[in-house]
């Protein structure tokens, strides 16, 4: 029987999520990849255990994570039942709906029908009565924003989620969603955008919106799909995501000579800081106080340990930030 590390809260740091009472670990574990039926279950379980032992209390899922879609939630639910029943009160579990999940007119986007039906299925897959955070995964251009936000409000009032958030919303649509939820009495506590050294779109208005509206931010893909690690400093490993011909997110054509030159220059800064490139990349995102947490992905236990090591050195000098900016421009 799994017993959690008694010192799990001694090293991890937690930030308050916007203006809410919710605090999240600065490093959270995302189950986007490596937790589906195509992956080795015992490895998935070992990563959940190690994450929790390191003080990572937040586990982020979505209805379509796998593959196949839904299998990450099913496998996570099995791990919860086998190892974490007594620890549920210490865990923040989130899921989402907004991308294609099943055929027909009710299995995609942002209608009330889809969101509530999807969450009901997510809860069944995970064996839960509620999730801690439920997100709308992406804006729907064809459904009134009021309907989508009303669905999130209803979900909280039904007791199926404690908090709600949005993901992939641009600045002005995020502000509108936040205001609608506030008027309904179910505040938006968190926004989940992509953000990394290589992807800085949130700095063009979104971080300002989150700061002004007192909403937390949690960055996904803070390592730019694995680019901001030492994985590709010497080329493309045969077992890497970029080497997989079926990978829709990162391919061999993405690892260009220009990118490699930038990665080597960034790695020199990281080494001078006493960090790995991945650790510096996470610290760089967390330098923004509006960012409550960063979502990491992992394929093995050692990667989780490495990422948590980023918390040992979060501060940057002005000179370091200038050098980083000059490299990634």
When pLDDT is cut at 50, 70 and 90, the band that residue 236 belongs to is low
d(CA 65, CA 135): 14
> Residue 248: its pLDDT value, please?
54
| 252 pLDDT above the threshold of 90 | no
Mean pLDDT value across residues 244-258: 64
> Residue 260: its pLDDT value, please?
92
When pLDDT is cut at 50, 70 and 90, the band that residue 320 belongs to is very high
d(CA 240, CA 279): 19
Phi then psi for 219, rounded to 5 degrees? -90, 125
Q: How far apart are the first and last CA of the chain?
A: 50
- pTM value? 0.94
Question: DSSP of 47-72, one letter per residue?
Answer: HHHHHHHTT--EEE--TT-TTTTTHH
Q: Compute the CA torsion angle 149, 162, 3, 9 (nearest 10 deg).
A: 90
> Residue 232: its pLDDT value, please?
82
Q: Which CATH class is domain 14-226+289-314?
A: alpha beta
| 250 pLDDT above the threshold of 90 | no
Mean pLDDT value across residues 198-205: 98
| 238 pLDDT above the threshold of 70 | no
Mean pLDDT value across residues 321-329: 95
Q: What is the mean pLDDT of the chain?
A: 95
- Domains of the chain, by residue range, sit at 14-226+289-314
């Amino acid at each position: 029987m799994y017993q959690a590390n008694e010192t799990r809260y001694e090293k991890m740091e937690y930030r308050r999520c916007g203006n809410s009472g919710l605090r999240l670990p600065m490093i959270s574990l995302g189950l986007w990849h490596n937790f589906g039926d195509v992956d080795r279950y015992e490895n998935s379980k070992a990563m959940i255990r190690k994450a929790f032992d390191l003080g990572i209390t937040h586990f982020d899922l979505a209805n379509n994570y796998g593959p196949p879609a839904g299998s990450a939630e099913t496998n996570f639910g099995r791990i919860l039942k086998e190892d974490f029943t007594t620890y549920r009160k210490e865990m923040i579990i989130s899921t989402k709906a907004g991308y294609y999940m099943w055929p027909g007119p009710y299995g995609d986007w942002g209608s009330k029908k889809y969101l509530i039906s999807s969450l009901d299925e997510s809860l069944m897959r995970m064996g839960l009565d509620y999730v801690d955070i439920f997100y709308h995964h992406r804006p729907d251009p064809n459904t009134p924003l009021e309907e989508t936000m009303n669905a999130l409000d209803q979900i909280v009032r039904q007791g199926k989620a404690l908090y709600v958030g949005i993901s992939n919303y641009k600045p002005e649509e995020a502000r509108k969603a936040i205001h609608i939820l506030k008027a309904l009495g179910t505040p938006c506590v968190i926004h989940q955008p992509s953000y990394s050294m290589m992807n800085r779109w949130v700095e063009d208005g979104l971080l300002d919106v989150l700061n002004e509206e007192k909403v937390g931010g949690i960055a996904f893909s803070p390592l730019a799909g694995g680019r901001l690690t030492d994985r590709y400093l010497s080329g493309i490993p045969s077992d890497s995501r970029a080497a997989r011909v079926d990978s829709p997110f990162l391919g061999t054509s993405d690892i260009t000579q220009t990118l490699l030159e930038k990665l080597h220059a960034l790695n020199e800064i990281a080494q001078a800081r006493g960090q790995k490139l991945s650790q510096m990349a996470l610290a760089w995102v967390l330098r923004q106080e509006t960012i409550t947490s960063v979502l990491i992905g992992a394929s093995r236990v050692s990667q989780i340990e490495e990422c948590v090591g980023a918390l040992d050195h979060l501060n940057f000098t002005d000179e370091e930030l200038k050098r980083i900016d000059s490299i990634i421009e």
